[in-house]
Structure 1
Amino acid sequence: MIRFVRRATFGVLFLASVLSASGQSWSFGFQAGLTFSKLQGPVEQDAGTDLESFDFANGFHVGGLFNYKLTDQVGLRTGLVFNQKGTKYRYDGPSYFFFRREGAKAPVATLVTRQQEVKFTNANIDLPAMIFARLGSLELRGGLYGSVLVAGNAGGSLNLTNIRTLSGNNSVADIMLSLDYNYGSDRVGTGSGVLQSRIISGEEVFYPSIIGAYYEEPVKKGSLFNVFDYGLTGGASYFINETFYFGAEIQYGFADVTKNFYDYSKLALNANRERIQRADKDNSLTLKFSLGFSF
């Protein structure tokens, strides 16, 4: 990923120098800074109590911007910005878990109390399209953005307590798992680390100490995340001198960034011991704080 960011940055700077040399109406800039982002969407409840929550996760951004001046104070802006977005996700409450058995046997469904914490870290390339106005040392801007997902990763922990069969019997010792997700390369039912086991209803089931992104999924249909996002963006910058500034920007996404195929209840199963499908819309909210140069 670092190599990709380095190559993209050099490419943007080269293109900026070409555009800058082609005419005085074109100028270019560079920005880097911190990103704070989260997902927004419906959360699962049990008797009116929220079981899920989404919070801001930190990341970084770096990229080049291209300006076309309409007047001395007003212009258009676009660019290419590597932006690390994500969210912190937490689930705390009653749930279920499927334990895998040897061979091709169907997994064993159990009731559990789930405490799950995940930090998602996605690599995106943002393409803004904005109009800006320079008012002395202050710059205001607003417009649209598009975003392309390059890679998706996550890490965290999953603690399973009060483990029992669907009939409520056969209490099992607590289990603590680490989460190491790669949404591109991980496969269904895979993990790593130490292989461990428990006895449930007289049969031995197995699980790794570290589970992958699709360990709990019966089928994989692409990544959890959709490739494209888009929405509104706006911000302000304060210029310390003619070229150097610090600024803040907000992005409000309109697209559902997660696939409905992976939206299902974590609280309960249906009468056939299958997942209950949902159709949540999870849109992104991103805050950027930057230092930059505008030439």
Structure 2
Amino acid sequence: MGNENLAGVAVRDNEVPASRLATLRSRLVLLRGEVKRQRQGYILMAPYFILFFVFTAFPVLMAFGLSFTYFNVLEAPVWIGWDNYANLFVKDEVFLIALKNTLLFAAITGPVSYIACFFLAWLINELSPGIRAVVTLLFYAPSISGNAYLIWQVAFSGDSFGYVNAFLMKWGFILEPVQWLQDPKYMLAIVMLVQLWLSLGTAFLAFIAGLQGLDATLIEAGAIDGIRNRWQELWFITLPSMRPMLMFGAVMQITSSFAVADVATSMVGFPSPQYAGHTIVTHLKDFGSIRFEMGYASAIATVLFVMMLGSNLIVQKLLRKVGD
């Protein structure tokens, strides 16, 4: 009797892997058939996927692997485990300053620039086509201007000829010029201001395009269903209809707010006094482009990637609630 029970258990144990194997084979057959039916589409998408893997996915995976090594470009990578990450969060005080600055920068400029992009696009969309095109160009121009920082450098110049100092001295707010771009108290705020001025870029155009393509019949149907004012129309019709554009704009604004570097370098120098304008990306450039400590730089890049990814996932969850 005992032998029969053992035999029955053995048979059942053999049946479970066999059933799973059969299910796997059937799924592979279905997948193969689907690929054959859609082969033209896959062939057309193949160049993009190859380029995406070679120049985007593979470098990200390689950076993650190198973050666990000591790699100075001249010698082969040496595996050191979690040492780079331990040094980042325990020993590297400059990185902690850069982390604080980046989080503060992203928490302020990201949401503000995102909301400003949408509401300016919403207001501009109400204008006539000719005026709309001119105003859109005026707001978009700073983001593509090559000398955008020059205006702000002149405005916040540390002598009495700087526009801000001249105005404040003329009206008696200050008695002597303030070194705006050298004083750690003001540097990060000025960099934020310049970044906000430059933030009406791709996301702004995406919102304009989304509003232009909004189906007018939805607004008419909403009026019949009880939409009473423009704010209700915005929340229940416009925003839900623009979820793809809103997601795209959020990704662009989050990326730009976390990856700020050129603005800080151009306005307050590199390195900035007391590292008051130091960000994670400037820290990454320091170790990657100047010191060539590529393993340590890869660890910095991995931390930044995780921060961006986490922020994007949070925004996705928030955007799903729009219009509810």
> What TM-score does the superposition give when structure 2 sets the normalisation length?
0.21
Rg larger for: 2
Higher relative strand content: 1
Question: What is the TM-score when the length of structure 1 is the normalising length?
Answer: 0.23
Relative contact order, higher structure (CA 8 A, sep 6+): 2
